[in-house]
Chain A
């Protein structure tokens, strides 16, 4: 008896040590890349980059478009998540389909958007009839961001909403509350912090969107040139400026993710 528990303890120690070593290796790998960026930029360089009109324009555009995308994601994504939260036939198929844009290479996503909503696209004639010309516009930036990042919010929201307290839902049902009313008044309120966490994650993804944006919306300063595209353009001519802008973007994303932890709490499904 004594002998066996010693062996189990030894096995535990080995497992812990292995996990620690692998974890440390991964943390080191990720951190090295981030540190490499940070050590190349001085606070003065960061300040200069921030005051560059091109960067200012790109930063403003990125914030504006990603916040509008976030609004669309809440309004359109929450009902989708609410529907997916209750089981029905074909749910897995629908859910996988909705999640697809996350794993699609962003450039392919952008191409798909062009082929659907572009001038020569599937709905090109209908959109033209309505006077809507999407490619090369700021609206196209929002569409690309929403397309790519909404599934992140939807999958978080779906799993939060499907774990609602069954006793409360049952009670609402015996009181003859409709399913929509139950969702709105019983299920969603306690889930709000976790939903905010999922939204921030999606927003951060929208902020970093590059491939779908440049393919569907193009690249024009002030109209479609978001921060990630500005970083890529700057890297070709002035690497130092590019690094400064990249660090700025990184700090912004870091702040957002930290806020998620704070809002959603440690136990959240987000992280």
Chain B
């Protein structure tokens, strides 16, 4: 093993991935490295919109994995990535500390509730606003629901990790995050939200056009889409990409 890693030249793939992938992707990377000797995969996790902006300014990456179609379309239009593929789906949930007064989605519009969510610029923030506005049409919540909820927002975080930390530290009563973020959090309660109206939450992955290791990068993308890759993603709570 030691000998082979000395003999085979090391190739490092740099993957720019949405913050919500920060647990699943390292697991994918480890598996990929195990089956591809001489290749190591490193990750830069951030809000998809931040990664997209970094790519536009010429950041060196081999792969871009976005949490929404909007950022991937932007990258595609700017000719930064080639042929992106949907690879996973996710849902929004509510997280609250076990001791929080928030137990259902109805509590979010109660005056005095401290809610944190992502900023509009981040995919998680755009999804959350669309979902809340969709809930206005549901008589169970009422037409003024989203207005009441948005008035309770005490902070617009840069990414889903920011929301999780404010809720985990007990500063906010509840936060809107992805289902996958709320998994394996013993001190937090995960509360289901209605399905997102319109286009679902679909993650997309593509090889960066300027990559000097495009064929290896394409191998990694193929691995993410393969049965083995999808199994790892499912383990971290992602579902198959809906179209």
- Asked if A92 CB lies within 8 Å of chain B CBs, one says no
- Sorting the interface of chain B by its residue count into under 10, 10 to 19, 20 to 34 or 35 or more gives 20 to 34
Give the bracket for the number of chain A residues in contact with chain B. 20 to 34
Instruction: Give which listed residue, B114, B158, B169, contacts A219 with CB less than 8 A.
Output: B158
Interface status of B212 (Cβ within 8 A of chain A) = no
Give the CA-CA distance A136 to B156 in the complex, in Å: 10
Query: CA–CA, A236 to B162, complex, Å?
Result: 16
Contact with B along A235-248 (1 / 0, CB 8 A): 11101000000000
- One of B49, B56, B121, B154 near A218 (C-beta < 8 A): B154
Q: Tell me, rounded to whole Å, the shortest Cβ–Cβ distance linking A30 to chain B.
A: 20
Contact B53 A136 (CB under 8 A): no
CB of B218 within 8 Å of the partner chain: no
Alpha-carbon distance between A65 and B170 when the two chains are bound, in angstroms: 25
How far apart sit A147 and B166, CA to CA, in the bound complex (Å)?
20
User: Which stretch (A93-101, A114-122, A186-194) binds chain B?
Assistant: A114-122
Q: Are A118 and B170 in contact (CB under 8 A)?
A: yes
Q: Give, as a whole number of angstroms, the nearest-CB distance from B23 to chain A.
A: 21
Cβ–Cβ contact B169 & A118, under 8 A: yes
Query: In the bound complex, how far is the Cα of B25 from the Cα of A202, in angstroms?
Result: 42
Contact residues of A between 110 and 165, Cβ < 8 Å to B: 114-115, 118-120, 135-136
Complex interface residues of chain B between 142 and 157 (CB less than 8 A to chain A): 153-157
- Given the complex, which residues of B lie within 8 Å of A236, measured CB to CB? 47, 49-50, 53, 121-122
Closest A residue by C-beta to B154:
A136
Contacting B155 at CB < 8 Å: which of A120, A218, A235? A218
Cβ-based interface call for B41 (8 A): no
Residues of A within 8 A of B119 (CB): 219, 233
Partner of B116, one of A119, A120, A218: A218
A203 to chain B, nearest CB (A): 25
Chain A minimum-CB-distance residue to B168: A120
- B152 to A: closest C-beta gap in Å: 11
Residues of A at under 8 Å CB distance from B?
114-115, 118-120, 135-136, 214, 217-221, 224, 232-233, 235-237, 239
Chain B residues near A (Cβ < 8 Å):
47, 49-50, 53, 56, 114, 116, 119, 121-122, 153-158, 162, 166, 169-172
